[in-house]
Structure 1
């Protein structure tokens, strides 16, 4: 039975990071397959266009909505004693399960685009993954400098479509750096070796 006022919380950095690996790897595979197809523009133009798209997607992914993240982090309240901190693996699984069809469609679109512009769609997809990874690293630096991990309510996250800075997310909550099973930035915590 849930306690009164009990809230499930997911790590903001883990949610941001959840899409990075699948987007990166699916994009790399799509780009690799796309290079094998001559396409309408030819491989050279396709790869050059893809490289430009990669750089743009990485920059947009890393910088988009930083002001919103900063504002939510600045107003973060302390997590309550009865709040439930979601495990890193659960957060990753929930996000990826909820977005699996979008990831599949993006992968198929990247493969299909190779017949027009070889490798470009795959590199665009990989750039989106790289941008999310850079954003999670930025959040991790903020968490370390503020000495507080950032968490978002699971119900607000669900209503925002898995976006931790979506319009339905009204505030973040904070805990100490030792809370949860993910390090600042959302990476898996390294096992501590005994002294």
Structure 2
């Protein structure tokens, strides 16, 4: 990269990268957990899991919302020499960096089935749904503002696009990159 060039990753793609693994691992853990009778019984465990799914999805979707909005409001235009990271590279980097956390969360969700059958898996799936909702909300803002939000890759600590090290976002036009607003794959 040339002088002053920075590598930028899409904010919505980083947020959305964890949604699918958490959702599918959560559903798998809930299915396995539903097979175990558990300490409280299947009915109570699955009802508690449904409640935890809703609470977790809402909490994950709303957490740090003001920080995202403040960073988006103060976003500056990306430079001509900035390098825009592909969607697939961003997703792969996030999933590689979090694979052990995902495995530990899955095993914990399956193990919790002996206490509350299915509740741990539903909580994990709720976290995935919450991340997806957060990415959709970012996508709506991108669509409304007619820009795409990017963050420097060296500022994203542990895959957090709104962490303490992030000083601001960069923007590009809505057609830049290979991901649609919200971080989904762009349809050709």
User: What residue number does 1:190 align with?
Assistant: 187
User: What residue number does 1:111 align with?
Assistant: 110
Provide the secondary structure at the position in 1 that maps to 2:154: helix
User: What residue number does 1:63 align with?
Assistant: 62
Following superposition, the deviation at residue 58 of structure 1 comes to 0.4
Question: Superposed, which structure 2 residues align to 1:1-195 within 5 Å?
Answer: 2-157=1-156, 160-191=157-188
Please give the root-mean-square deviation of Cα atoms over the aligned residues, in Å.
Answer: 0.4
Q: TM-score, normalised by structure 1?
A: 0.96
CA distance in 2 between partners of 1:178 and 1:12 (Å):
15
Q: TM-score, normalised by structure 2?
A: 0.99
Following superposition, the deviation at residue 61 of structure 1 comes to 1.0
Provide the secondary structure at the position in 2 that maps to 1:174: strand
Cα deviation 1:106-162 (Å, max 9, x = unaligned): 0000000001110000000000000000000000000000011000000001xx211
Provide the secondary structure at the position in 2 that maps to 1:156: coil
Provide the secondary structure at the position in 2 that maps to 1:150: strand
CA distance in 2 between partners of 1:161 and 1:188 (Å):
23
Gaps of 5+ in 2: none
CA distance in 1 between partners of 2:180 and 2:47 (Å):
36
Provide the secondary structure at the position in 1 that maps to 2:155: helix
CA distance in 2 between partners of 1:121 and 1:185 (Å):
27
Cα deviation 1:13-37 (Å, max 9, x = unaligned): 0000000000000000000010000
Q: How many residues align?
A: 188
Provide the secondary structure at the position in 2 that maps to 1:182: coil
CA distance in 1 between partners of 2:62 and 2:115 (Å):
29
Gaps of 5+ in 1: none
